[in-house]
Structure 1
Amino acid sequence: MPIPPEHPVLTDGVVTLRAPRPDDVPGQLERHREDPDRRFDADDARRWITYGIHEAWKIGTRLVFVIEYQGQYAGTVGLEPDPHGNASIHYGLASRARGAGVASRAVRLALDFGFGECGFHVVHWWARVGNWPSRRVAWATGFRMGEAIPGFGEEHGRRVDAWTGWIGPDDERKPRRPWFDHPVLETPRLRLRTWRDDEISRITTARTNQATAHFLPFIPQPFTAEDARFWLKDMAEQAAAGHRYNWCLADAETDLGLGNLTLFNLGYGEAGELGYWVHPDAQGRGLMTEAIRRVADWFFSPDGYGGHRLLIRTAATNQAARRVAESAGFQHAGTEREAFPLATHLDARVTYDLLPTDLTP
């Protein structure tokens, strides 16, 4: 690979990538002190900035740049070549520079350098599962997401499951699909927000019941804490992949989780489908109808999702789910025979739909 013998200076007018300087040592040390699991002292920072980065560049094992933002050290980004003409990318940002798109700008500059100057064929990315800031940067800069690989990475001396991704020289350096950031929606009685990790017991209680076992036999019974944690991770993954929104229905006064509303099957003619469930102590109060109407307002609004048709599909014999759909103003759009699998047999599947013109004040 034609690696330049010395650091070039790369800039997009906002962020600059350059060689390290002695005055970067305090910033490097401070950044690593923000990570309580990382053992990194002043001597480590000094050696890395004054010697380690230059030596790694010289022998071609790691091509690390200091990220400069607003005239100060803001972190590092590096490319690690492999024997196959590819490279992996690594980056870390100081807290003062987060939230301003600095990491994404730095990664784009590094990719342009890696593909244009060094001739890499593919650049790989990986991050520990749960490292959402790193994944957000990879998403923003156009990486294709691959599989999550158990035990793929190592952090602080222990093996970790890792998200993976890759990008090629001809790929655009921008998101390939939306990342759904959940808006907080409010009604007189509810606040629609994302679930928290401390609400596992509310989820397990709501999902463990005879009706769920009958109408949704693919859901484990009993629904354990482990199932709930996996479900929360999966909902976050689905939002990051632009596949679905998932709201917790929380009491507007106490913030207690009362139920769940999911918007999925998006992207096909700007239609979407709703799924829902309610905690036993919140049933019979019309809360789901209230939540669906609020989500429908947001979904159809040009300032919201901007969709044009909402669907609800359920088993013909699921009277509770059908009452909710009808109470929310959905119209019966059709019935398919033996199309909804129950625990014991195939039921008919009913479809309800809602258009913006169906909404009433």
Structure 2
Amino acid sequence: MTSRVHRRRGTGGAGPLAQEAPRAHCAAVARSDREEPEPAGPRLRERGLLVRRAAPADGPAVAALLDDRDVLRWLPDLGSAPPEGGAAAGSGALGVPGVRPVGTAHRLVVEVGDAFAGLVLLTEDGEGGGWLACAAPPSARGRGTTAGAVRLVLTWAFAELGLQAVHWAVEAGAWPARRLAWACGSAVDGTVRALLPVRGDLRDAWVGTWRWDSSLQRADRWLSPVELAGGGVRLGPHLAGDVQRVAQACSAASTQAWLPSLPSPYTVLDAASWIAGREEEQARGAGVFWAVRPDGRSRAGADGTDPSDPVDDDGPETGPLLAEVGLFTLGDGVRSGEVGYWCHPDARGRGVTTAAVRLVVRHALAPADRGGLGLERVVMRVASRNTASRRVAAKAGFREVGLDRGAERLRDGTVDDFVRYDLLAGEEQDPLPPRG
């Protein structure tokens, strides 16, 4: 049972920027009492947030941050930055190989209520530009603290230091860092192959820029698969452990028959690339993709397990991946989107996909002020001979509205028409429970 969700292969990779290190923002360490005078330098304040020049007494908190597992994974050279006020003779975590910044290095500490909340490193290149990197302890993550600190530092860099542009570069795949840059108004300018040296290896890097006239506020939409539940299924984001189930589903002959663009053979590497590509689509606001799992409260053995087995009810991460439903061809000002899906062979024939599609469509057509995407129309295209997917469209409330003749060459070499369906706001239906 498949539709067009897997038709366009996404880019591989993922990644944060030298920033809120991948879910890593080391345990907050309260600043120790000290009698020595405050260090000279900028003291930037906003809504209980303080960014100041680092002092010797910050050593233990900074050391703990640099020893954080996620910081070590994504920013291994953060601790090798030049000393405060010293010349930046290399690149390290603050620059990019070949750039060789030669200006002043600024090591800044972030505080919230006298508690250590992160480190921001700004290195001038001596030519009116600079490079920025930052990290925060776990206790300070997810609160907007690091984004607030980055905005303060950038404002200071442009207004007081006279910089014209500040750049960032992180290993591709560092999604928390990239989301931080997005929250501060920077898009990804591009991916540079084999740019960053990490433990003797050259890694691909995402790079971006803030200009002196940048707004420093998010501009584009970053879509996320919000949790949806009903009809015996629960929808949420993909997990790293989903790759095996994705590979199984997409290597099945019954899936490959209707999605001829899938690699064949389809491996776990293809599955990992697909999941990472969905993250990229969401970051660009072009689509949003849900992993479908048993609800836990109404499992009914839809995944091939004994329904009497105990199941933890702890959200969308409960249970194996049953299917995927995606909504794509989205963008700012777009009134409609296209829905597509595939289902693992061992979860078919139980109404799982129909329930999931109804949940996604209801969310897509709900007004934005009620937490939905605010679309006015959702469309679906299905190969005319794909009777299982056409049944899903009908049961999910879609209306058949047209035919695209000779639209797809299938895996067996034959050419099939696409049947077009749509659903307008106000026509969506509630999900039905899957059949046991």
Shift of 1:238: 1.6
Greater mean deviation of Cα atoms: 255-264 or 18-27: 18-27
Q: Which secondary structure state, in structure 1, belongs to the residue aligned with residue 107 of structure 2?
A: strand
RMSD: 2.5
- Relative to its length, the structure with more helix (as a share) is 1
Alignment of 1:89 onto 2:157: no
Pairing 1:246-285 to 2, within 5 Å after superposition: 246-253=289-296, 255-267=319-331, 268-285=333-350
Give the Cα–Cα distance (whole angstroms) in 1 for the partners of residues 162 and 121 of structure 2: 15
Shift of 1:156: 4.8
Greater mean deviation of Cα atoms: 311-320 or 216-225: 311-320
Of 84, 102, 121, 1:53 maps to 84
Once the two structures are superposed, residues 176-234 of structure 1 have per-residue CA deviations (whole angstroms, 9 ceiling, x without a partner) of 21222221111232111222222222111110133433332211012101100111111
Give the Cα–Cα distance (whole angstroms) in 1 for the partners of residues 190 and 414 of structure 2: 34
2:46 matched residue in structure 1: 12
Alignment of 1:32 onto 2:66: yes
User: May I ask how many residue pairs the two structures share in their alignment?
Assistant: 348
1:145 matched residue in structure 2: 188
Alignment of 1:350 onto 2:419: yes
1:315 matched residue in structure 2: 383
2:56 matched residue in structure 1: 22
- Relative to its length, the structure with more strand (as a share) is 1
Give the Cα–Cα distance (whole angstroms) in 2 for the partners of residues 338 and 236 of structure 1: 32
Q: Which secondary structure state, in structure 2, belongs to the residue aligned with residue 147 of structure 1?
A: strand
Give the Cα–Cα distance (whole angstroms) in 1 for the partners of residues 108 and 238 of structure 2: 38
Give the TM-score normalised by the residue count of structure 1. Answer: 0.88
Give the Cα–Cα distance (whole angstroms) in 2 for the partners of residues 307 and 257 of structure 1: 27
- For 2:288, the aligned partner's letter is Y
Give the Cα–Cα distance (whole angstroms) in 1 for the partners of residues 85 and 165 of structure 2: 24
Shift of 1:345: 4.7
Give the Cα–Cα distance (whole angstroms) in 1 for the partners of residues 185 and 70 of structure 2: 30
Pairing 1:133-172 to 2, within 5 Å after superposition: 133-156=176-199, 158-172=201-215
Is contact 1:27–1:74 with CA below 8 Å preserved after alignment?
A: no
Of 403, 428, 435, 1:359 maps to 428
2:398 matched residue in structure 1: 330
Greater mean deviation of Cα atoms: 338-347 or 317-326: 338-347
Pairing 1:63-102 to 2, within 5 Å after superposition: 63-102=106-145
- For 1:23, the aligned partner's letter is A
- For 1:75, the aligned partner's letter is G
Consecutive unaligned residues of structure 1, counting only runs of 5 or more, are 1-5
Q: Which secondary structure state, in structure 1, belongs to the residue aligned with residue 224 of structure 2?
A: coil
Once the two structures are superposed, residues 117-172 of structure 1 have per-residue CA deviations (whole angstroms, 9 ceiling, x without a partner) of 22322221111222222112101001121222232113455432222111211121
After TM superposition, what 4+ stretches of structure 1 lie above 4 angstroms from structure 2?
Answer: 36-39
1:3 matched residue in structure 2: none
Q: Which secondary structure state, in structure 2, belongs to the residue aligned with residue 227 of structure 1?
A: helix
Alignment of 1:225 onto 2:295: no
Pairing 1:169-248 to 2, within 5 Å after superposition: 169-248=212-291
Pairing 1:116-135 to 2, within 5 Å after superposition: 116-135=159-178
Alignment of 1:292 onto 2:357: yes
Is contact 1:60–1:81 with CA below 8 Å preserved after alignment?
A: yes
1:316 and 1:169, CA in 2 relative to 1: closer, same or farther beyond 3 A?
same
Give the Cα–Cα distance (whole angstroms) in 2 for the partners of residues 38 and 198 of structure 1: 23
Shift of 1:38: 4.3
Shift of 1:339: 2.7
Give the Cα–Cα distance (whole angstroms) in 2 for the partners of residues 132 and 200 of structure 1: 18
Higher relative contact order (CA 8 A, sep 6+): 2
